[in-house]
Amino acid sequence: MNRRAAGHTEWCGKDHRCGLGEHRSDEIVVDVAGRSRAVLVRVRTATGREHAEVRVRVALAPGEVAARRQLVGLLGDLRETVTRAAIAGRARPRRAA
């Protein structure tokens, strides 16, 4: 994997998406027709820091109570997902040989 601070990466879209020092991948789309859609883009900033940018759209129930229940569940799931990703990205101490 190429993670140089300058120049395009292997995963970079290498087109108009790259600008202002950022490099952006092609969109990865997960689509459940009529129900939900998620779009993930990998981004590397001008400082070399990499991020995942995620947009999610979920169809809500027509009733207010049910829609709010969906939103509460979605926020809880997102919190768990973001926390899990942050923990996985932390450096781990090396084991003594």
pLDDT of 90 > 90? The answer is: no
Q: How confident is the model at residue 16 (pLDDT cuts 50, 70, 90)?
A: low
Per-residue pLDDT tens digits for 38-84: 999 999 888 888 999 999 999 999 999 999 999 999 999 999 999 99
**Would you state the pLDDT for residue 97?**
62
Mean pLDDT, to the nearest integer, of 12-32? Answer: 81
pLDDT of 5 > 60? The answer is: no
**Would you state the pLDDT for residue 76?**
96
Query: Where does 1-97 have alpha helices with state H?
Result: 64-89
Work out the percent of the chain whose per-residue pLDDT is above 70: 82
Query: Which of these, 55, 60, 62, lies nearest to 73 by C-alpha position?
Result: 60
Query: Computed from CA positions of residues 42, 47, 49, 53, in that sequence, does the dihedral angle turn out positive or negative?
Result: negative
